[in-house]
Amino acid sequence: MIESFREAFGRALVEIGERIEEVVVIDADVKGSTKTLYFEKAFPNRFIQVGISEQDMIGTAAGLAIAGKIPVASAFAVFLMRAWEQIRNTVARDNLNVKIVGTHSGFSDHLDGSSHQCLEDIALMRVLPNMKVVVPADAYATKALLGQIIETHGPVYMRIGRDYAPRVYEDGAEIKLGKANVLRKGNEILLVATGTLVHTALNVAKMLEKLNFDASVIDMHTIKPLDEKTLLHYAKRAEVVVTLEEHSIYGGLGGAVAEVLSEKLPRRVIRIGTVEFGQSGRDYLALLDRYGLTPDKIYQKIVQVVM
């Protein structure tokens, strides 16, 4: 089943707003695209439109947090990065209770090309002290993790795609902020994935099974703080660790995993992601194929290493 990240985000915001009156949503002139317009319709007095001014949006969110509110500032991930200085100096440095949600991340805004495709945000946000970084695997995980983010004090960056969200979790599945989900237990190969590539990793594991390779699959939805305990436990059982992300291999999930393993449990790490800017494409899946992020392409890369 294919669901939508942004639809899940917008509707979850309304449900959270009904429970927690302190939640205020701030938009940078993209409410129709991020689906924060659902919150505006439900709670017009708790919705703030700052226009195309992401720096002001973050400053406004910081002020609301100081006043005791729980601000959720949302915009396209790539344009939120123009407010990185404000996120650093005002939100992270003062450890403010601001929730930042970047939508349309990775290649998901395929039609608009490289100017709208954010492939660097995990790295930029992960480096900030006090900042948690969360990347849900599907629509269900988006709702589950958003609720926990709102109830967790301190700055959090959540990254979601646009519409393509293949179902990974069944309703009622347990997803806990800061705790990786082990979706498949095996030996020899460990696949550590985040975002849409969690679903891809499960497909790759099935393909590897045909070659008698038993692969584990971990959904590392919380990239910071990284669940080192789970990572190390399953890495001990594997000869090769493969990271999969719709992001640059520099500084993202692959970097985080490699950092931990290089210090605590040396293993060969194969980082699968991108090293380029994106490009426009009429079809999202075709664009993923262009960058080697489909099950077939990933399977081929892994086989070249392990055979």
**Residue of 40, 54, 228, 246 with catalytic role:** 54
The span from the CA of 267 to the CA of 264, in Å, is: 9
* 271 within 8 A of 243, measured Cβ to Cβ: yes
Q: Is 54 part of the annotated catalytic residue set?
A: yes
Q: At what angle do helices 228-235 and 253-264 cross, to 10 degrees?
A: 70
Strand 47-49 vs strand 23-27: parallel, antiparallel, or unpaired? parallel
C-alpha angle 303/209/205, rounded to 5°? 75
What is the b/e burial string over 249-286, where b = at least 16 CB atoms within 10 angstroms of the residue's CB? bebbbbbbbbebbeeeeebebbbbbbeeebeebeebee
C-beta separation of 146 from 39 below 8 A? no
80 in Cβ contact with 100 (< 8 Å): yes
Catalogue the active-site residues. 54
